[in-house]
């Protein structure tokens, strides 16, 4: 009996630690999102300043701040990716392009494995 109570106490403390870790991770995600947003705002402000002064950069102490433009490729929705891939397959004369696409996508996936997870649910009082 004592051993069972000791085990339950240990499990309860581990569950409490998991909850605390989850709360901390949530706070870090929120803080990180706010910091990333602020960084983008600051970079935009500096870029606007440099553009308004028609400069490609400035030197600030031991740092060089350079205005650099790059091409950025946007993300497509999954539906658009599939329809574009089908178009390419059909363009090259692949018969049954939808079946070929499904097979290609399946081949790119890893093998399924069984994973044991702990699910913590709140009990309604």
d(CA 97, CA 74): 25
- Token pair in block for residue 63: 């740092």
Please name every residue paired with 59 in a beta bridge, in sequence order, or none if there are none.
64
24-62: burial string, b at 16+ Cβ within 10 Å, e else: eeeeeeeeeeeeeeeeeeeeeeeeeebeeeeeeeeeeee
Residue 39 DSSP SS3: helix
Give the model's pLDDT for residue 5. Answer: 82
Q: Give the number of C-alpha atoms closer than 13 A to the C-alpha of residue 93, restricted to the C-beta side.
A: 0
- pLDDT attached to residue 4: 79
Beta carbons within 10 angstroms of residue 100's beta carbon: 15
Task: Give 10-residue mean pLDDT values along the chain (125 residues).
Answer: 79 94 97 97 94 89 90 93 94 93 92 90 83
């Amino acid at each position: 009996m004592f051993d069972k109570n000791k085990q339950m106490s240990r499990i309860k403390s581990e569950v409490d630690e998991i909850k605390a870790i989850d709360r901390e991770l949530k706070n870090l995600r929120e803080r990180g999102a706010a910091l990333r947003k602020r960084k983008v705002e600051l970079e935009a402000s500096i870029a606007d300043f440099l553009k308004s002064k028609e400069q490609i950069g400035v030197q600030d102490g031991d740092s060089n701040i350079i205005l650099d433009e790059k091409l950025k490729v946007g993300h497509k929705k999954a539906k658009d990716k599939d329809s574009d891939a089908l178009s390419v397959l059909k363009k090259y004369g692949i018969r049954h392009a939808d079946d070929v696409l499904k097979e290609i996508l399946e081949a790119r996936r890893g093998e399924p494995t069984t994973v044991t997870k702990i699910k913590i649910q709140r009990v309604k009082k």
